[in-house]
Chains A and B, each alone.
Chain A
Amino acid sequence: MRTPMFFDEKEEFLEALRRMVREGVPKERIRTITPFAVPEVDKVLPRPRSRVRFFALIGAATGTATGFAFTILTSLEWGIIVGGKPVVSLPPFIIIAFALTILFGSLSTFLGFLLLARLPSIRSIRARQEYGNRFVILVEEGP
């Protein structure tokens, strides 16, 4: 890996990044570290959209299915009529399914993030090097 380049200003960092791309450095070999989210980086170095969204969809759908399956199947297990309501009473079961949709969706999205962002990273937790508030460009060596 080449020596990292450090910048104090966001604009200087972005300009250096654009220049590097113009000079033909392969985009997939450029890594950046920023103290806060800089959306312009994604424009200079386009990457595929985050797949975290699939985790959200799968988690939420699993939550809905679980909510309905859980309430319906357990009610049918011993079909007691309570308060004159049908054994399978969908309106109240929707509330449970809704809650589990949100719960499973949120937890699955969080787990998806950890997986895709490769966190927690033991190496980074132990690392002594800190970049502070600087904007950093790292170029990985080619094959």
Chain B
Amino acid sequence: MAAAEKYARADEGILKAMGKPGRAYIAGLGLTASLVVIGGLLWAYQIKSGLGVAGYTHPISWAIYITNFVFWVGIAHSGTLISAVLFLFQARYRTSFNRPAEAMTVFALMVAGLFPLIHLGRVWVFYYLIPYPTQREIWVNFRSPLIWDVFAVGTYFTVSAVFFYVGMIPDLAIARRRCEGIRKKIYSALSLGWNGTQREWKHYNMLYLFLASFATPLVASVHSVVSWDFAMSLLPGWHTTIFAPYFVAGAIFSGTAMVITLVVPMRKALNLYDYITDDHFESIAKILLLTSLIVSYAYIIEFGLAWYGGNVFETELFRYRALGHYKVLFWIMIACNSVIPLTLFAKKLRRNITFLLIVSLFVNVGMWLERFVIIVSSLARDYEPYAWNALVYRPTFVEAGITLGAFGMFFMLYLVFLKTLPVLSISEIKEHL
């Protein structure tokens, strides 16, 4: 096939996703939008009624909302790993996943950013977190991990959004060519008048390299900072020194699973088999397997440290985690995160895309439960034995509804992305044709 024909086919094949939506798409969009509305109404109800409608019971004052925050920040990580780290390592299969993964990063951070606000009793004073002096000229406490979070997550969102947009500029120029009317005008403006001159490419390549280099340390730093929200405290089960690498590995693990969850149906629905092959999925499956092993190792180390440390509260907490009120969730977590991914050692299963999708769904569930188990079991078994069995935390319908709303928002944004922006990096794919 002549090169020109191949390029035209790539344009056509990838941009046809932006065509008229079908019934299934509209149904999906309607469903996810309904979840967002339900979540929004429940949040409004919580703001009106106060945090009492959430299932918080002393001493469990962090629960589902913080679980969601950590989960969604974690989901974001794989996007940066795939787009930035694999770019620096020049991994070819990256081009099949980088755009959906970058979109996923931005959307996951948008969802994650809502949860600290939802968790606030008085959300209208959220700006207390922003560093500014009060009337008595006292500034925020920069020694607090919650302020580090504001800087880390704020930076992560901004850099990821810029990276996402920059990667799309040449593709937006292609979209401009293939649209008419108002859409053409919008894509023309978004592509900034990109032509593909030597000067543009020269500066663009340098920009992309630097953005990838700046984003790479964020893969390690952001979830480390999130882990320090816990590790800076003295609560049993929270203050081990492995928390930062443990959280980073978990973030990449969960994010990789979410990439698979999103890209497998996307490939089928948009018929992108020429650009996202089984070989590419196999490479991603290897990342999933590796990070699963790291996470499992961290689980073992946590128990090992509790046993070796000899602190009675720490030992009791880890006994409670495995055998206490939340034992079912704990063992589901172990099954999903440590046992089921081991099947990916078999090449045949790694290359079975349906099986890979099922594994990724289990990992999504397992990683959400991991955050829940870490947060809730530690708080339920802290230094106040009188409270140990007094009340058992159970999520309320408000918390459950807001959580579903968050999933709805994430998938709704992703569906909107599929119809409005180029779903794969066309210019990079053309380079390798």
Write the residues of chain A forming the contact surface with B, with a CB cutoff of 8 angstroms: 8-10, 31-38, 41-42, 45, 47, 49-50, 52-53, 56, 60, 70-71, 74-75, 77-78, 80, 82-83, 85, 89, 92-93, 95-96, 98-100, 102-103, 105-107, 109-110, 112-114, 116-127, 130-134
Binds A, one of B62-70, B192-200, B330-338: B192-200
Q: List 16 A-B contacts (CB under 8 A).
A: A38-B201, A41-B198, A47-B198, A49-B206, A52-B207, A53-B206, A77-B137, A92-B148, A99-B155, A102-B155, A110-B211, A112-B207, A116-B203, A119-B192, A120-B193, A126-B188
Interface hits, B387-433 → A, CB 8 Å: 427-428, 430-431
Write the residues of chain B forming the contact surface with A, with a CB cutoff of 8 angstroms: 2-4, 7-8, 11, 131, 133, 136-139, 141-143, 147-148, 151-152, 154-155, 158-159, 162-163, 166, 170, 174, 177, 188-189, 191-207, 210-211, 214-215, 217-218, 221, 225, 427-428, 430-431
In the complex, A130→B8 CA distance in Å?
14
B214–A106 touching, CB < 8 Å: yes
Say yes or no: A102-B218 contact (C-beta < 8 A), given A74-B133, A110-B166, A133-B11: yes
| Nearest-Cβ distance from residue B86 to partner chain A, whole angstroms | 17
> What is the total of A-B residue contacts with beta carbons within 8 Å?
179
Known: A74-B139, A77-B139, A82-B143. 18 other contacts (CB 8 A): A33-B197, A52-B207, A70-B131, A74-B131, A78-B138, A96-B147, A102-B214, A102-B215, A106-B158, A106-B215, A109-B214, A116-B199, A119-B193, A121-B192, A121-B195, A125-B193, A130-B177, A133-B11
In the complex, A8→B1 CA distance in Å?
12
In the complex, A9→B5 CA distance in Å?
10
| Nearest-Cβ distance from residue B134 to partner chain A, whole angstroms | 10
B202–A47 touching, CB < 8 Å: yes
Chain A residue contacts of B428, Cβ below 8 A: 36
| Nearest-Cβ distance from residue B226 to partner chain A, whole angstroms | 12
A77–B133 touching, CB < 8 Å: yes
B210–A93 touching, CB < 8 Å: no
Chain B residue contacts of A89, Cβ below 8 A: 142-143
| Nearest-Cβ distance from residue A16 to partner chain B, whole angstroms | 15
| Nearest-Cβ distance from residue A87 to partner chain B, whole angstroms | 10
